[in-house]
Amino acid sequence: MSLKIKIPLTEEIVLKLRAGQRVFLSGTIYTARDEAHRRLSELIEKGNPLPFNLKGNVIYYAGPSSTPPGKVIGSIGPTTSSRMDPFTPKLLQLGLKGTIGKGKRSDEVKKALVEFRAIYFGATGGAGALLSRYVKRARVLAFPELGPEAIMALEVEDFPLVVINDAYGGDLFLEREKWRR
């Protein structure tokens, strides 16, 4: 069963979601890749404010391609999530409620998703041009010098996702492996 949900994500919403469930997400999400995560981590360590409030929000591990004329954004496909694993537990502890990417997460991240009641969504890799159609507005929010890896605020409508890891320890990749046997 698919579910339409809106940001900010509340604990009530997160606890309704299960691994394997299809979701259509609407609201503002924030892009951040490797270097942006390193910089966020430095800001946290120094006690400096972050460029956006983590509480109830979602980070999309993506960096768009150049924006074609007449479009809101270029191709915006997910990147490999495991590269952000060293930073994710701390962000979840500070109130982040969801991440979007592709691929498996570390055991440490999966444990933090349960502990802090958060979700890891999967976006379809290789479908960045299609996913850009769900972005209604886009603006650079922080670290513009990083180019496509700058933190962006994306207003999305019915962005198609699948719950990969839920707040109960469910893992779509493990479920898939069971069925393969």
In the three-class reduction of DSSP (H, G, I as helix; E, B as strand; rest coil), residue 148 is classed as: helix
**Catalytic residue list contains 169:** no
In 3D space, the residue among 77, 33, 83 whose CA is nearest the CA of residue 59 turns out to be 33
Q: Which of 33, 37, 102, 105 is catalytic?
A: 37
Amino acid at 121: F
Closest CA to 165 of 107, 87, 96: 107
DSSP E strands in the chain: the ranges are: 3-6, 22-31, 58-60, 98-101, 119-122, 135-142, 151-165
Cβ atoms < 10 Å from Cβ of 136 = 12
Which residues are part of the catalytic machinery?
Answer: 37
